[in-house]
Amino acid sequence: MQDREISTILSVRNLNVRFGRSSIPAVSEVSFDLGRERLGIVGESGSGKSTTGRAIMRLLSPSAEISAERFDLAGNPLLEKTERQMGALRGKEMALIMQDPRYSLNPVLTIGRQVAEAARLHLGLGRAQAMESARSMLQRVRISDADRVMALYPHQISGGMGQRVMIAMMLLAKPKLVIADEPTSALDVSVRKDVLVLLDELVRENDSGLILISHDIRMVAAFCERILVMYAGRVVETLTSLDDARHPYTRGLIAALPDPRHPVRRLKVLDRKALEAEAAQ
Ligand SMILES: Nc1ncnc2c1ncn2[C@@H]1O[C@H](COP(=O)(O)OP(=O)(O)O)[C@@H](O)[C@H]1O
Ligand SMILES: [Mg+2]
């Protein structure tokens, strides 16, 4: 019990998020604990996955009302932090990798400058050391011609390369918690797996906890030990294997994705009737 407490990175109890006067909460009564492990959050579009991830980073729009019985990062209540304190945690203790690196990277700074800036900020390095650290981190994410890439601007690199740069920048300070929100959805299919394998490798090397958010339940199942299935803001099921899926919604998510073994199978529409029947019970 004691060990479990110590190794818990994130503890969430009854998280609720509501935007403005909206009558329907975006996130309702979500609870989970995260240790040094990989947790997936899946669900269809609008189910509250990103809102959950952004709430943890405290990066929701000002109209969002957040409440939780517990919302702790390594025992520290996140909801009590000032914006300034949150700023110090972001990047250093917790990092968010988003879908499209083109919108996350600064368009007017070279790749080298922005990775080095992250090294200066989070590792407290001087200019020359920060450049050296940026170079080795870019090599670590398998950018072989790091010197050439460092001189380029974000629009001059591919999406896959951009996401490697983001991973390098975000994981530089070895944050305890990494949240990856659809990290490969904007990338070419051919590079998706490589980017995920790399992310997984670095997260394990750093002994961080990972929350991998995606609508692709099979992809998440391949990387995570545990999966939370969200529907309409709620966790409807927690799985350790897709074979254990009981909820009709989860089965719908599994069936809605093309099975790599049967690539031409028709896509199924989620079974609303079964869902409503379940909800009525
Ligand atoms: N800034 C916002 N203002 C108002 N509603 C929002 C905002 N962000 C998200 N929502 C609403 O919250 C719900 C959950 O959205 P989101 O967390 O983005 O879902 P997902 O990531 O699972 O697709 C949706 O109904 C969405 O419209
Ligand atoms: Mg989302």
Domains of the chain: 2-108+153-280 (3.40.50.300)
The stretches of 14-126 forming alpha helices (DSSP H) are: 49-57, 83-89, 101-104, 111-123
Question: What residue owns the CA closest to ligand 1's atom 8?
Answer: 51
Task: Tell how far the Cα of 278 is from the centroid of ligand 1, in angstroms.
Answer: 24
Is 45 touching ligand 1 by the criterion CB < 6 Å?
Answer: yes
Test site for ligand 1: of 15, 16, 17, 19, most ligand atoms within 8 A of the Cβ: 19
Q: Write the pLDDT tens digit of every residue in 236-273.
A: 999 999 999 999 999 999 988 766 555 544 444 555 55
10 Å Cβ neighbour count for 216?
Answer: 18
Q: Are the CB atoms for 42 and 253 separated by under 8 Å? A: yes
DSSP β-ladder status, 38-42 and 209-214: parallel
Q: Are the CB atoms for 157 and 118 separated by under 8 Å? A: no
Task: Tell how far the Cα of 181 is from the centroid of ligand 2, in angstroms.
Answer: 7
Model pTM score: 0.90
Q: Write the pLDDT tens digit of every residue in 76-115.
A: 999 999 999 999 999 899 999 999 887 889 999 999 999 9
Residue 211 to residue 48: CA distance in whole angstroms: 14
Residue 32 to residue 228: CA distance in whole angstroms: 9
- Those residues whose C-beta lies under 8 Å from the C-beta of residue 174, and which sit 6 or more positions away, are 206, 208
Task: Tell how far the Cα of 215 is from the centroid of ligand 2, in angstroms.
Answer: 8
